[in-house]
Amino acid sequence: MRYALNILQISNPLTKIKLELLISQFLVLPSSLLLKKANMENNPEKLHFVLFPLMAPGHMIPIIDIAKLLAKEDITVTIVTTPVNASRFESTIDRAIKGGLDIRVSILSFPWKEFGLPEGCENVDLLPSLSYNINFIEAAAKLQEPMENLLQELEPTPSCLISDLGFTWTTEVARKFNIPRVVFNGTSCFSLLSLHNLITYDMLGSVKSDTDSFMVSGLPDRIELTRTQVPNAVHHAGHPLRVEMRKAESEAFGMLVNSFEELESEYYKRYKEAKGKNTIWCVGPVSLCNQDQLDKEQRGSLCNFDSSQIMELALGLEASKQPFILAVRGGHNQHEVERLIEEDGLKNRVEGRGLIIMGWAPQVLILSHPSIGGFLTHCGWNSTIEGISAGVPLITCPLFSEQFLNSKFVVQVLKVGININIENPRMIPGEEARIITLKKECVKQAVQIVMDDGKEGKELRERAERLAERAKKAVDEGGSSSRGLRLMIQDVIQQTQKGC
C-alpha cells in the first residue's frame, strides 16, 4: 500500500480564484563568467560530471535539478539511470537541452529478475513493500561493471562522479577512473548530524521501550525522540550494508546537501566538524532552479498511507471548513481509497470548497500559487524544503525514514509548522514505515491553527515568509548556495589537477 499524499490549504476563503482555475493552470504549456575563466585557464578539457541517483522519486528529482545547475555553469552533465526511470524525466531533460544545457542521459539495464523483484521494478516507488529495499540495492550493485564500461566510453572524459549514498561501489568506480566521488544524500544537515550522533553515541542502547523518549546528544537544540521515531539507518547500523555505506561516505571527496546555510547554519557547522572535513557543500533549495511551469509540474513525492488513514485526513480537512486540495497518488489500493471516498459521499459534500485529486499532482506548481496558505506533508526532505521555499507553514505527519527528524526540525527549530497529534507510531518488522493512528479531530485542529488569523497562525506565516526570502537569496547570484555550488566545482577542478 503506497501513496504519495500532499494536502494544501488555500489561505483566503474569500478569494475569487476558483479551485478549477488553479488546476487549469497546471495545463499551461510552457553567469558563470568567473567559473568559465577558471575552466579555460586551469582545465583545457571541458568539465564532465556524471550523476547516478538512487532510483527513487525523492532522490532523482533533486539530482535532475542539480544537473541543471551544473549545466548552467558550462559543464557537461551525464545522468545515468535505467529505462523506466529515463522515461519518467525525458521531457524535463528535453526542455533543458532545448534551452541550451549540455545534459545527456545514459541508460543501463536493471537486473530486477535476478534479485527477485517484480518485472520492470526499477524504482523504489514500484517495490511491493519497503522490505525489498535491500534486494533493490543489491540489484543496483550489479550495475558496477556496466557503469565502468560506460565511463570508459564517455566524452569528454568524466571529471567527477556524483552518486547516491547507497551506491557504495561507486567509490571503487571513481577510484578506478581517478576522479573524485561526491555523495548525494538528499536530506538536511539537521538530519545528517542527528543520524551521525545517534549512531556514534549508540543512543538506542539505553532505551528500554518504544514509548520512552530520550534526548539526542550533541545538537544545538533540545530534540527528543522515541525509539519508533528513529530511522532504520540507526536501528540497523550494524548491518554490513550500513557499515559499508558509512565507510564509503567517509572515503568520498565530499557531500552535496540540498539545503542552505542560513536555514541551519549551526547544524551545517557541527556536521562538518563531526565528519572532520570541509568538503560539504549546501547548494539548495535546488527546486528553485525550476522557473518553467512545466518543470514545476513534473515534481511529486512518495509516502505510505493506508486507506483508513487517508479517510481520516480527508474527513479532518472537511471538518476544518477550510478550502483545500487533497492529492492521493495511488498505489495498489487506490481503487479502495476511491471506493471509500465515493461511498462516504465526501466529494459531494466538499464540492466548491475542496478538490480531491486521485493521482499525481504538481506539488511545486501548487505551492507557488499565492492562494496557498499551508501544506500538510509527510515531511520527506524534498517536500519540506519545497514548502519552506514557498513560504507557507507546514503541518507535519511523518511516516518513515528521516521524516520524524525533519518534523522535529520544522516544528521545534524553525518554528514554521505544527505536528498532527498522533499516537506513538509502531514499527513494522522488516519495514521502514511506521504504523500511525490518525484522528480526524487532530487533523481538523492542526489545519485550523495554521489557517487561523490568531497569534499562532500569524507568527507561523511570518516566520515561513522570512525563510522563503532567505532561500531565494541563497540561490541567487552571490548567495550562499550559489557560492557553494561553484566552490564544489572549483574543489573538483583542483582535485583532478592533483590526480585525485
Cα 79 to the center of its chain, rounded Å: 18
| Tens-digit pLDDT profile for residues 327-343 | 886 555 677 888 888 88
**Which residues, including other chains, have CB under 8 Å from residue 312's CB and lie 6 or more apart?**
438, 439, 440, 443
Between these two residues, 25 and 58, which has the higher pLDDT value?
58
Rounded Cα distance, 51 and 67, in Å: 8
Q: Which bin fits 345, alpha (ψ -120 to 50), beta or left (φ > 0)?
A: left
pLDDT at residue 492, as a whole number: 95
* Predicted local confidence at residue 203, as pLDDT: 92
- What topology is assigned to 44-195+236-292+474-498 in CATH? Rossmann fold (3.40.50)
Place of cell 483545500: 324
| Pairing, β 434-435 against β 426-427 | antiparallel
For position 436, what pLDDT does the model report? Answer: 76
438 has a pLDDT exceeding 60: yes
Say if residue 87's pLDDT is above 50.
yes
Q: Give the cell for residue 437.
A: 493512528
Number of neighbours of residue 148 by Cβ within 10 angstroms: 14
Please report the pLDDT score of residue 133 as a whole number: 82
The predicted-structure confidence for 296-318, as pLDDT tens digits, reads as follows 555 575 555 678 888 899 999 99
Q: Residue 252 corresponds to which cell in the numbers above? A: 568520498
DSSP one-letter code for 375: E
The answer on pLDDT for 30 being more than 60 is no
Domains 4-27+297-470 and 44-195+236-292+474-498 share a fold: yes
Q: What value does the mean pLDDT take over residues 105-124?
A: 92
Lowest mean per-residue pLDDT among 142-156, 184-198, 405-419, 434-448: 434-448
Burial of 207 (0-12, 13-18, 19+ CB in 10 A): middle
The CATH number given to 4-27+297-470 is 3.40.50.2000
Q: What are the extents of the domains in the chain? A: 4-27+297-470, 44-195+236-292+474-498
Does the pLDDT value for residue 28 go beyond 50?
Answer: no
Q: How confident is the model at residue 430 (pLDDT cuts 50, 70, 90)?
A: low
Question: Hunting for cell 524544503 — which residue is that?
Answer: 385
Nearest alpha-carbon partner for 235 in 400, 459, 118, 125? 400
Q: Is the pLDDT of residue 272 over 70?
A: yes
Give the model's confidence band at 428: pLDDT under 50 very low, under 70 low, under 90 confident, else very high.
low
Cell 522563503, residue?
A: 468
249, pLDDT greater than 60: yes
| Per-residue pLDDT at 2 | 32
Q: Helix/strand/coil (H, E, C) string of 288-335?
A: HHCCCHHHHHCCCCCECCCHHHHHHHHHHHHHHCCCEEEEEECCCCHH
Q: What is the pLDDT of residue 278?
A: 72
More confident residue, 293 or 443: 443
Cα–Cα dist 32/69, whole Å: 11
pLDDT value, residue 140: 92
For position 429, what pLDDT does the model report?
63
Phi, psi of 4, deg, nearest 5:
-105, 125
Q: Which helix (H) or strand (E) holds 77?
A: strand 76-81
pLDDT 10s digits, 185-194: 889 999 999 9
Residue 439 · residue 415 · CB < 8 Å: no
Measured CA to CA, the distance from residue 275 to residue 252 in angstroms comes to: 11
**Distance between CA 343 and CA 106 in Å, rounded?**
47
The confidence score (pLDDT) of residue 432 equals: 67
**Rounded to an integer, what distance in angstroms lies between the CA atom of residue 10 and that of residue 320?**
12
pLDDT of residue 143: 95
Span 399-414, pLDDT tens digits: 888 999 999 999 999 9
pLDDT (average), residues 381-394: 95
Percent of the chain, pLDDT > 90? Answer: 61
Q: Does residue 426 have a pLDDT over 80? A: no
Task: State the average pLDDT over residues 243-247.
Answer: 93
Query: What is the per-residue pLDDT for 308?
Result: 82
pLDDT of residue 226 exceeding 80, the answer is: yes
- 157-216: pLDDT as tens digits: 999 999 999 899 999 999 999 999 999 988 999 999 999 999 999 999 888 888 889 999
Q: 16: Cβ–Cβ under 8 A, 6 or more apart, which residues?
A: none
pTM: 0.88
State what percent of residues in the chain have pLDDT above 70: 85
- 355-392 core/surface letters (b: 16 or more CB in 10 A; e: else): bbbbebbbbbbbbbeebbbbbbbbbbbbbbbbbbbbbb
Question: What rounded mean pLDDT belongs to the chain?
Answer: 85
Tell which wins on pLDDT, 435 or 288.
Answer: 288
